[in-house]
Amino acid sequence: MTTQNTPHKICLIHGNQQLLIDETTNNLIEQRLEGREHEWSLERFNAQEMLKSTGESGKNSIDDFLISCETLPMLSDRKVIRLDNFELIKKAAKKNDSSSAGRLFDAVENIINNPPDCLWFVFTSPAMREQDFSKPLYRGIKQSGWIQKFVAYDNSSPFNWVIQRGEKKGLPLSADAARLLIDILGNDLTDLDHELEKLSLYLAGKSISEELIKEHIRGHKHFSVFRMTEALSRKELLPALEILDQQLQAAPREHVRLFALIIMQFRRLLIIHCMLAQFHKESEIISKISLPPFLGKQVLAQARNFSIVEIQNIYSELAQLDLRVKFQSSLAPLLLQDLFQRICSGQFKTAA
């Protein structure tokens, strides 16, 4: 991240990569409070807490925020105010709205347009899109402040980040090892950073093999999902259902993520079958599906458990189930169990 010589008074950092948001926010605060005690120079608020609809806690928090914005810093020449969940601050629907939410919006809008001399503001948000924010507030920050977005989409792969982060932690990773971590854990940088930290404690200075990684991340929630897709690809119904049940009990609302991983697995199997039909070499296929060699070989073996017609039928069924799994959450466990049963019993072998 690059910063200008004169730091912006108003900054917004947003997106779904919370680790990068927190690190960037902390760096911005450190730059603005260099050599100053945080105890006297830093205050933090959360819009979600301030806008609670019940009890007095929300009202009091808004009052505290407004007072803080109007109060000169004590025992310091400057103060930074951090406000989280900035996307929740919206303009009131009615004019002259005197509610707490209306007062908060008016105060923040005034701050953005006329920031106080001795105060700096850092807003954060998990929102991914510009349209998730109040238009006048976002436009005001864009014109006179600084905005940084950290967004990772479902198909993004933070390959270079994992390699660089591993090096910083004294954990040199091969390209295959980095891809394996991402394949098992997903692309959330917080998850990846935690696992890299643990691996650095146990494996620092050692040659990091794929088997060592698999051995040391067995406790991670995503590793079970990794095993579930393997079992499903081998048509092993009981272990696949057991892991599915464990995952849904631990996180009942994770059915969409689980379904997405199943789609990803069968997309790979379909790509493999298409390439086999075109007589591609094994090395070309592994390169195409972007997996470490030993994992690629496993998936190649799993693909041979299905005919091309069977894979096409399964993938077609997944497309039809997509909206039902996403929008009928109460039925999602039953839909997934039924899907597993039909896949493992070979019901998709014949043309639909």
pLDDT at 254: 76
- The whole-number pLDDT of residue 294 equals 58
Query: What is the CA angle 323-325-326, rounded to 5?
Result: 65
pLDDT, residue 301, reads: 83
Model pLDDT, residue 5: 52
pLDDT at 161: 92
- Residue 4 has a pLDDT of 43
What residues contact residue 80 under an 8 Å CB cut-off, 6+ apart?
A: 29, 32, 33, 41, 42, 43, 119, 120, 121, 122
Confidence of residue 146 (pLDDT cuts 50, 70, 90): very high
Tokens of 213: 């990684």
Checking if the pLDDT of 54 tops 50, the result is no
Between CA 282 and CA 272 the distance in angstroms is 9
pLDDT above 50 for 3: no
Percentage of the chain surpassing pLDDT 90? 33
Q: How confident is the model at residue 352 (pLDDT cuts 50, 70, 90)?
A: low
Count Cα neighbours of 88 within 13 Å in the Cβ-side half-sphere.
Answer: 18
Average pLDDT, stretch 52-73? 74
Give all domains of the chain, ordered by start, each with its CATH number: 10-150 (3.40.50.300), 154-218 (1.10.8), 219-352 (1.20.272.10)
Kindly indicate the confidence band of residue 2, based on its pLDDT and cuts at 50, 70 and 90: very low
Q: Is the pLDDT of residue 99 over 80?
A: no
Q: Are 37 and 172 contacting, i.e. CB atoms less than 8 angstroms apart?
A: no
pLDDT mean over 53-57: 52
